[in-house]
Amino acid sequence: MARIVLVGAGSITFAKNLLSDILTFPELAESTIVLHDIDAERLATAEAMAAWMVAELGVGATIVAHADRRTALDGADYVINEIAVGGLAAVRTDFEIPARYGVRQTIGDTLGIGGIFRALRTIPVVASIGHDLAELAPHAVLFNYSNPMSMIPWAVYAGTPFRNVVGVCHAARDTQKTLARMVGVPEEQITFVTAGVNHQAFVLRFERAGENLYRRLDELIEADPELARRVRVEIYRNFGYFPTESSEHGSEYLPWFLAHPEEIEHYRIPVGIYLDWLADNLDEYGRQKRSLDEGKGVEIRPGQELASLAIHSIETGTPRVVHGNVRNGGLISNLPADACVEVPCHVDRSGVQPVRIGELPAQLAALNRTFLNVSELTVKAALEGTRDYVYQAALLDPNTSATLPVRRIRELVNELIAAHAALLPDGIRF
């Protein structure tokens, strides 16, 4: 049976959701599940949770926990990555220092100054995983959940011998469900094509039996002025295609919103909301740990996680379409070949097979290239240990550059480098 490794298994909610899927698929229920985390307490909690779930379901999965990453990865068939290097303390730094300079963020994990520094912390670790897999499990598939999604898979295939990496994210799937619900058409009746860059992909085709459902969406927006007070609706109205990321998150990839207090109020953008979410996640971890300690266990609720669906399709041949983040290589012809793009992927026994999209509409490719400029320079900074690329990524970032002049951006970068120095590549911190 499959050997499935969860890296960052101490993220208990993430691990619980994945295991709820994997262990309730009969074809996967006898798998070996390997848990790895650098936090000993969280790893022990994950192991206790997984063992409880196996016993509760009465399945034959084998649960193994390893604090040593190489031991965990050895012989893997599938690796699922969800690490957060530096944890809550690092994220607080990503918010608090830029806030003193007047740079506002909502989530801070994908682009922007927070996304740049999350990538600089994360890429060295995930690149090490790529090197380990090339040696210990060269035929494995690495499914990445860690943000920034446009940068992490890119760093693996550009900076290591390992190439079989796929980033997975719920944004495209959730947006398609949202649009179906908004126009009142069952999702299974709609033909969607969604592609671009992670968190800035667009619904290129939105049809039912030849009917362009964007016309229905236009009528809804026209009839409800409150809909126009959403960032993603504003982007749709100006660029012609609906974006896949939420309004609060999408606002920080663009220059027109967070730098302007009146726009924050108009579009109801929750600045700093991610810190509240992380506090909630910490509380949830505490509740689940107490429940396990008391022998009550956790809720087992299959949730169609993308990595677990893809693994099931590869193991069983069940055909599915999953949006994946992969090397472009011409899949989207008017974006850079080396960039990491998000496209529909057919998944079956042959593995993950990305769909060629062709050209994006020119205005969408232009937006994506602005996004990818920051991604490319950040990846190069992390892999090459070059501080100048960090400055340049920040200078080209839409939200940061809309807020600060050049001198202040360089000062902000220097302060963040000093704060995160222990977690950054050599060459950047010195």
Q: How many CB atoms lie within 10 A of CB 414?
A: 13
Residue 366: Cβ within 10 Å count: 12
Token pair for 427 = 């060459």
CA 406 – CA 101 distance, rounded (Å): 12
Residues with Cβ within 8 Å of 169's Cβ and at least 6 positions away in sequence, in order, are 145, 149, 198, 199, 306, 323, 325, 342
Tell me, what amino acid is at 70? R
Closest CA to 221 of 201, 202, 236, 241: 236
State both tokens at 72.
């965990």
CA distances, 373 to each of 106, 268, 303, 389 (Å): 21, 28, 34, 11
Handedness of CA 319, 322, 327, 328 (dihedral sign): positive
> Looking only at Cα atoms, what is the longest distance across the chain?
61
**For helices 171-183 and 214-223, angle between their N-to-C axes, nearest 10 degrees:** 70
- The number of residues making up the chain comes to 430
For the record, the structure tokens of 242 come out as 């609906």
Residue 268: other Cβ atoms inside 10 A: 12
Buried b / exposed e along 290-315 (16+ C-beta atoms within 10 A):
eebeeeeebebeeeebbbbbbbbbbb
Angle among Cα 406, 410, 415 to the nearest 5 degrees reads 150
Nearest to 68 by CA among 97, 119, 34, 92: 34
Strands 351-354 and 340-348 turn out to be antiparallel
Q: Check 170, 260, 266, 346 and give the catalytic one.
A: 170
State the Cα angle at 55 between 54 and 60, rounded to 5°. Answer: 55
Question: Is 170 tagged catalytic?
Answer: yes
**18: closest CA among 78, 96, 90?**
78
Active site residues: 170
